[in-house]
Structure 1
Amino acid sequence: MSAAHKGEVHLVHLYPREMSIYGDLGNTRCLAARLRWHGYEPVVHGHHPGERWPAQAHLVLGGGGQDSGQVRVQDDLDRQADRLRELAADGVPMLMICGMYQLFGEAFITVEGRRLPGLGVLDVTTTGNRTRMIGPVVLDTDFGTVVGYENHSGSTVLGPGQQPFGSVLHGEGNNGQDRTEGARTHNVVGSYLHGPILPANPRLADGLLEIAARRVTGEFVPGELDDRIADEAHQRQVVRLTGRRR
């Protein structure tokens, strides 16, 4: 079946220049590739500060960035805040990594104690500290086992009733103490996992694509994909770090 028969899926990558320093642009490229393999037509929009918002947004992604990058996107993020909150409430799938995960929360409190407000899509609060949490991570999530790599100094705490993205089987996660990682509200997922996360976790990638495709076309008709190499790499990390086998 041709891509045109299954329909277009519009991906919006927020601030790919400022907020994609740990390979998170690979998440967008992964989704675009998998959409083509499944028989859909991906349309990728890179949204930069000051630009007009795309006419269509079926799946939204954001990545990690340095503090200077967060400062450069803050004004534009404020202008897009209501739109992003509406899209999130309407069920649009989103994947926000590291710095963008923090900006989608309630607030970021700097090491000096300054409180910077976030979008409030996710009920999480992050506090900067001088100790970094770095290393490979394995999670148990609604999308199955997820692997990735964390590198963050922010310590994030979930608000009452906020669902985590996953529980930590190996690694530090949100704060190194409560064994939670990331957050999920509706179809918005926030996480500290780089890698990038999606090429290493095909089930997670297709889970997000399925939500988007069903919203656009009313159904998700997957193609026959060969994920043997990705699955083997994924399983090797799970076994090496946790001893678990599927």
Structure 2
Amino acid sequence: MSDPRDVTILGEPATSHRPADPGHEGKGEIHLVHMYPREMSIYGDLGNTRCLAARVRRHGYVPVVHQHHPGQPFPETAHLVVGGGGQDSGQAKVEEDLERHADRLRGLAADGAAMLMVCGMYQLFGNAFVTVEGQTLPGLGILDVTTQGNATRMIGPVVLSTDFGDVVGYENHSGSTTLGAGQTPFGRVRHGSGNNRSDGTEGAVSGHVVGSYLHGPILPANPRLADALIGWAAEQATGRDFQPAELDDEVARQAHARQVSRLLG
């Protein structure tokens, strides 16, 4: 279980949190920004932030967690940025604020900041999301993907083959996402629907930016992916190679293996 000091709790007036551990600065600070935790975190994706903060600390670094809400200045320092899923109405609520900070986010992505965007935020980091009613919500274009809303949802457990090994999670989306010609997918579907139920792809990756439809939340179930994001963030934060600790992930490993075995036989 994560230390309660590791993450800002929803509802607190503060929008950032640095654990007060004088003399325990560790290997350096890693600033983690959770975007729109009220509007775009309805499928448990706050668990990704909690997982990252806990694992950052376990690796010997100091997590500094920020919440970014619509209308606020974007945090000055950001090494790792995460966003989650939401309804179409939630996406519409954050669209204006997202556009306000578009240049900053594109710059962070270009500079190598680690980013994980899940479901609705994955769609908004693409070129555009077209709702089932035909409304077009422009995206940031960080990932070369375009999403069309549908009346039928894609729901169920997923297993992917990725550069981070087999990744497991749960999808629940009506958007059908198409990759641009040169866009690398996050993974190949072994079980589930993925981006669009037809081309066998799931998510997208560009540099250190990962987009995916997988909830679960995805990171506690896939420690290797979590540590990849932390490693990228640590290198940017400190200017040195990532210095991981040896963590005991046996429970997560067993749960992961059982899901893969159950779904793939």
Establish whether TM, by shorter chain, passes 0.5.
yes
Provide the residue aligned with 1:220 in structure 2: 242
One-letter code aligned to 1:206: D
Provide the residue aligned with 1:174 in structure 2: 195
Q: Does 1:229 align with 2:251?
A: yes
**Residue number among 101, 107, 126 corresponding to 1:105 in the alignment:** 126
Q: Is the 8 A contact 1:3 1:36 kept in 2?
A: no
Q: Is the 8 A contact 2:92 2:137 kept in 1?
A: no
Cα deviation 1:125-160 (Å, max 9, x = unaligned): 000010000000000111111000000000000010
Q: How many residues align?
A: 242
- Counterpart CA distance in 2 for 1:11 and 1:3 is 18
| Runs of 5+ unmatched residues, structure 2 | 1-22
Give 1:3 deviation, angstroms. Answer: 4.8
Give 1:5 deviation, angstroms. Answer: 3.3
| Runs of 5+ unmatched residues, structure 1 | none
- Map 1:43-122 onto structure 2 (within 5 A): 43-122=64-143
**Residue number among 9, 25, 39 corresponding to 1:4 in the alignment:** 25
Name the Cα RMSD after superposition. 1.0
- Counterpart CA distance in 2 for 1:3 and 1:191 is 35
- Counterpart CA distance in 1 for 2:136 and 2:223 is 37
- Counterpart CA distance in 2 for 1:110 and 1:233 is 35
**Residue number among 126, 129, 145 corresponding to 2:166 in the alignment:** 145
DSSP-derived class of the 2:25 partner: helix
- Counterpart CA distance in 1 for 2:79 and 2:262 is 36
**Residue number among 128, 131, 136 corresponding to 2:152 in the alignment:** 131
- Counterpart CA distance in 2 for 1:116 and 1:71 is 7
Identity %: 73
- Counterpart CA distance in 2 for 1:3 and 1:222 is 17
TM-score, normalised by the number of residues in structure 1 = 0.96
One-letter code aligned to 1:123: D
- Misfit runs of 4+, over 4 Å: none
Q: Is the 8 A contact 1:30 1:198 kept in 2?
A: yes
Give 1:114 deviation, angstroms. Answer: 3.0
Q: Does 1:202 align with 2:226?
A: no
Give 1:108 deviation, angstroms. Answer: 1.0
Give 1:29 deviation, angstroms. Answer: 0.4
Give 1:55 deviation, angstroms. Answer: 1.5
TM-score, normalised by the number of residues in structure 2 = 0.89
Q: Is the 8 A contact 2:128 2:137 kept in 1?
A: yes
DSSP-derived class of the 2:227 partner: helix
